Chains A and B, each alone.
Chain A
Amino acid sequence: MMGGWLGEANRAVAALIAAGRWLVLPVSLLLFLQWPLRDLVHAYSIAANDLAQWLFALYVSLALTEATRVGTHLAAASFAQRYSPRMRRVIAKVAILLCVMPWSIFVLVAGAPSIWQSVRTLEAFPETANPGYFLVKASAFLLALLMLTQALLDVLSAKDAR
């Protein structure tokens, strides 16, 4: 159990992910509509693709953290299953501290200037000039930010933050 700001942060991440789960439905619908729009209506197909693109980027940025929370990451655990649960928890926390946290901090720091510039100018899709490309770039920032938040929750909580 987590209390205080840890609990608040955990609930906020959970709520954000729960809302994001639905995004796969409009993405499916928009990509499905692409071919009748292209072949029958002869219009709006590219707009549908661009809209689906940033919804997809937003969905994926949330999905990585969801995979961590529900434990669906691909792993070759047949040998490590012999370790005690405590040992496996220690290995996981060390890996979060040495791998996930430095990685996500690096992505946030190295990507921030370019992403901020894109958001500030509300950058449009370069090939079609449709609005919303800045959301694709912002999704990369969100992806790293959520991974860092989840890593902090996992390291600081007594048990797994789920």
Chain B
Amino acid sequence: MEWAGFPMLAAVALGLVATGLPAFMVLIGVALFFAVLGLVAGALPYPVLTALPFRIIGLLENDLLQALPLYVLMGALLNRLPLADILFRAGSALFARSAAAPLLSAIGLGALLAPMNGSVGASAATLSRVVEPRLLASGVSAPQGVALVALASTLGVVVPPSLVLILLGDSMLRAHTEAINATHLAARVINTQDVFQGALPPALLFLATAIAVAWLVGRGRSSRLPAVSRLRAGEWLAAFVALTAIVALLVAVVSGHLYAVEAAATGAVALFAFGLITRHLDGPILMAALRDTMGITGALFALFVGATTFTLVFRALSADAPIAALIAAIPGGPAGAAVATLVLLGLCALVLDAFEIILVIIPLVMPPLLVRVPDAVWLAALTLLALQTSFLLPPFGYAVMTVRTLSAQRVSDRALTRALLPFLAAQLAVLVLTVAFPALTHLAQPASLAATPRSDAQVREQLENIVPIAPLEDAK
């Protein structure tokens, strides 16, 4: 039932948009429908389906996924404790001489909080609440404020060790294992650490470019005294300790001294301690944070459960064969295949969020792509940059839509696009640079993971080791 591949994906897209049902229900529903079809047609052996409970047990015993509730807890605590507010005011005070101070503070705060918050939605919620009102009070226009908050919310997609990076690292590990098994290449399978290290140079480059753009845009505006209250000595101390702790955690994770899960746990415990010491964490706030944490953790795991059910049936029906054949047929060599797949991921990001893409789309497109493009670190970094760009594309980009929903300001599409344009141009420049110079993603690690691209004939033979694909003549 190879033909089922595209109908299954189309059914998911249609089911999501037309019913408005939770994504996990749609994934389970489509999987069940095609599983029954497969059983009736004799194309799906029943014992394959009985692997489902063991796949769910696999999710529950996955070490990496333990980080998930910890990131969510950090996000929930950050949203209720005054730390983000203190950091923003400290940033504004530090840059007080520049008219661009609020803009620079917003991006700086996004860069600091995004890796702790983990998801674009959680960052958008915190930054919309803390930063946007202060930006407006400082004389920043509403479109500029929404654009800056949306931009800052997406920094977690590329700045390690956020949740998106951890999950992509896990997905890439599986995809790379499949590709290496198919190619019999003597290469080390990438891990989350490699993805962190690969994403860091382009992330820093983008961060520096975004800060430069914010400074250029901000210095031209009419200066109004930022409406920030003076920080007390205790708040300066809290800002200093928080900044030092976040940077230390980041360095420890990227250098491999601390596992991502341990870093997340350390952040959660530190925030909890901060709340207790400053007496901001009382009973009702703790209960609300625990309620939020469980609700959001459950939503993310439901997506895992839906995705694992969907991919089990998808693979059992050999429905990934047409996708592998399509990727094998993309012209332009490895770079052409990579760019075409990035465009596809970018289009998916207009409908799906980062988690849905990483759990459903990446496992399907990455194994055959990695057969053609063996540099898994480069592909992972490009995927993150492409996702970040898509989240910022007005009017449907995920971050743009989320921040607009949360904002009290009504901003027209045209004004928002104009405000976002310089940042999108900077993002596109970093993306193009990363496509053109894969070595950029290997600056923080040895280049041993970048293997030599193979010929089309080799690629075809190796793809057939993943799934049997029809001869090209037949496909035409």
Contact = CB atoms under 8 A, between A and B. Distances in A.
Interface residues of B, number: 60
A12 interface: no
Contacts of B293: 21, 24
Closest 6 CB pairs between A and B?
Answer: A80-B20, A111-B53, A67-B298, A73-B22, A63-B298, A31-B265
A22 B290 CA distance: 7
Nearest to B271: A28
Contact of B294 (A17, A57, A83, A115): A17
Could you say which of A22, A74, A80, A88 has the most chain B C-beta atoms within 10 Å of its C-beta?
Answer: A74
Nearest to B261: A31
A62 B294 contact: yes
B309 interface: yes
A139 B58 CA distance: 11
B374 to A, nearest CB: 31
Contacts of A57: 60-61
Contact of B28 (A63, A75, A103): A103
B294 A74 contact: no
B345 interface: no
B177 interface: no
A75 B21 contact: yes
A23 B308 CA distance: 25
Band of interface residues on A: 35 or more
A99 B18 CA distance: 16
Contacts of B50: 110
Interface in B128-158: none
Contact of B16 (A56, A76, A88): A76
Contacts of B56: 107, 111, 140, 143-144
Interface in B258-296: 258-259, 261-262, 264-266, 268-269, 272, 287, 290-291, 293-296
Given A81-B20, A95-B19, 11 more contacts: A21-B294, A27-B70, A29-B269, A67-B299, A75-B21, A76-B20, A91-B20, A100-B28, A110-B49, A111-B56, A140-B56
Contacts of B69: 24, 27, 56, 59-60, 63
A64 interface: yes
A52 interface: yes
Contacts of B49: 106, 110
A116 to B, nearest CB: 12
Nearest to A83: B20
Interface in B226-270: 258-259, 261-262, 264-266, 268-269
A161 B55 CA distance: 29
Contacts of B258: 35
A35 B265 CA distance: 10
B20 A32 contact: no
A63 B296 CA distance: 8
Contacts of B295: 63, 66-67, 70, 72
A107 B59 CA distance: 14
B49 to A, nearest CB: 7
Nearest to A103: B28
Interface in B390-433: none
A74 B298 contact: no
